[in-house]
Amino acid sequence: MNNKPLISVVIPTFNSAHFVVDAVASALAQTYPPLEVIVIDDGSIDNTREVLAPQWNSIRYVKQPNAGAAAARNRGLDVAKGDWVAFLDSDDIWLPEKLEKQAACIRDHCNSALVCVFSRYFVFGDDNVGQECQSQLGPEDTNAEVLIAKCLVHPSAALVKQGTPVRFRVWGVPSEDMIFFAELSEVGSFECIDECLTGYRKRPLSVTTRPGHAMRSIQARRRWIEDVIGASDPLRAKQLLRILFESAAKEMLLARWLRKWDRYWELRGFLVREWPCSESHPTVINEWVYPRFVYRLKDTIESVCKRVNRQLLEA
């Protein structure tokens, strides 16, 4: 294996002219220079092309009709010339040593079946400046059973081996990322760098905040389990479905704790209807829920008590 892995950077973008320049700049500023930086313009109608003009000689620019982030990443995989591909969303950034540390990890595992090296990431933007996302896990946790239930590997933090048959499932929106890494774990091993080397920009109007996101995510992952895994291993598909439904139940409880009632009732209704008939319903699906004003009163009382206790401690 080459002692200096050749890395292609793939930046999919759609109408993100106000962010993509920063993403490209962070890729070009790496202490381990990439072989190429490829911007896949997924049919933008803003001034993306114009804002990239100062960096034109340092990037490859590929434009395609709008087909979504999954198709744009797949296009990047198809045209990349490197041995490894590092994805970077157009509104995210890297710290300068990100690729250097990932390349060192590849060299340290040159005789393994390594297909992905990823790092932890931090959240920035709005009120989340500098908050770390706790995506700590080891290679023993990077299997389909874990990755299909939890969003643990962010595309912008991942470096994947070129040449595997795995591609982003275009129909997998909005969980094409989770499906991709779960499927990739089926063909090789993962390594995690326990450092925050990637910045994930959190925006108030991100897709995760849109109504129905949780349900679409579960349905996409369910389709992958049933159609892809179920075609070759029905017993394992049944086990993965159980894990997926259990994770949905936990998400339902989190929605109640956060008082996101629309999401809570959406998830609860789905679980009541779709929970496998061969399995007994967990208690949380049939739990008693008080009227919303009771929770508002409870939250108000707890807030007042905390404020009073803080004042007493400071007195």
d(CA 185, CA 291): 44
What domains lie within the chain, and their CATH numbers? 7-201 (3.90.550.10), 211-288 (no CATH)
At 51, list the tokens. Answer: 């804002």
pTM, rounded to two decimals: 0.89
Whole-number pLDDT of residue 169: 97
SS3 of residue 310 by DSSP? helix
Whole-number pLDDT of residue 3: 76
Phi, psi of 89 (to 5 degrees): -65, 150
Pairing, β 7-13 against β 36-42: parallel
Question: Would you give the DSSP letter of residue 291?
Answer: -
Residues with Cβ within 8 Å of 288's Cβ and at least 6 positions away in sequence, in order, are none
d(CA 209, CA 212): 9
Which ranges of the chain would DSSP assign to H, the alpha helix? 17-28, 48-51, 69-79, 98-108, 144-147, 176-184, 213-224, 230-232, 234-257, 261-274, 292-314
Whole-number pLDDT of residue 2: 54
Across the 315 residues of the chain, what is the mean pLDDT of every consecutive 10-residue run? 85 96 97 98 96 95 97 98 97 97 94 90 72 60 89 95 96 96 95 92 69 89 96 95 94 93 92 80 84 90 91 82
Cα dihedral: 105, 78, 150, 5 (round 10): 0
